[in-house]
Amino acid sequence: MTSQNIYILGIESSCDDTAASVILNGKILSNIVASQKIHEEYGGVVPELASRAHQQNIVPVVDQALKKAGITKAQLSAVAFTKGPGLMGSLLVGTSFAKSLAYGLNIPLIDVNHMQAHILAHFIEEDGFNKPPFPFLAMTISGGHTQIVKVNHYFDMDVIGETIDDAVGEAFDKSGKILGLGYPAGPQIDKLAKLGNPKAFKFTKPRVDGLNFSFSGFKTAVLYFIQKQVKLNPNFITENLNDICASIQYTIIGILTDKLKLAVKQTGISHIAIGGGVSANSGIRQALKDGEAKHGWTTYVPKFEFTTDNAAMIAIVGYLKFLDGDFAEQNVMANSRLKI
The DSSP code sequence of 211-237 is T-B--HHHHHHHHHHHHHHHHH-TTHH
Q: Is 173 annotated as a binding residue?
A: yes
Q: Is 290 annotated as a binding residue?
A: no
Which residues make Cβ contacts (< 8 Å) with residue 326, sequence separation at least 6?
Answer: 110, 155
CA gap 16, 175 in Å, rounded: 21
Q: Is 281 annotated as a binding residue?
A: yes
Task: Let me know: does 82 contact 115? Beta carbons within 8 Å.
Answer: no
Q: Could you tell me where the beta strands, DSSP code E, fall in 27-164?
A: 27-35, 78-84, 109-113, 136-141, 146-153, 156-162
Strand partners, 24: 7, 27
Q: Is 86 annotated as a binding residue?
A: no
Task: Let me know: does 213 contact 251? Beta carbons within 8 Å.
Answer: no
Task: Let me know: does 113 contact 91? Beta carbons within 8 Å.
Answer: no
Q: Is 114 annotated as a binding residue?
A: yes
φ/ψ of 42, rounded to 5, equals: -100, -5
Q: Is 279 annotated as a binding residue?
A: no
Q: Is 3 annotated as a binding residue?
A: no
Count of beta carbons in the 10 Å neighbourhood of residue 104: 10
Q: Is 142 annotated as a binding residue?
A: yes
Sign of CA dihedral 305, 309, 314, 317: positive
Instruction: State how far the alpha carbon of 245 is from the alpha carbons of 143, 194, 220, 250, in Å.
Output: 18, 9, 15, 8
To 5 degrees, how large is the angle CA 269–CA 270–CA 276?
A: 100
Within 13 Å of residue 309, how many CA atoms lie on the same side as its CB? Answer: 26
Q: Pick out the residues of the known binding site for Fe cation.
A: 114, 118, 309
The annotation places the binding site at: 114, 118, 140-144, 173, 186, 190, 281, 309
Annotated binding site for substrate: which residue ranges?
Answer: 140-144, 173, 186, 190, 281
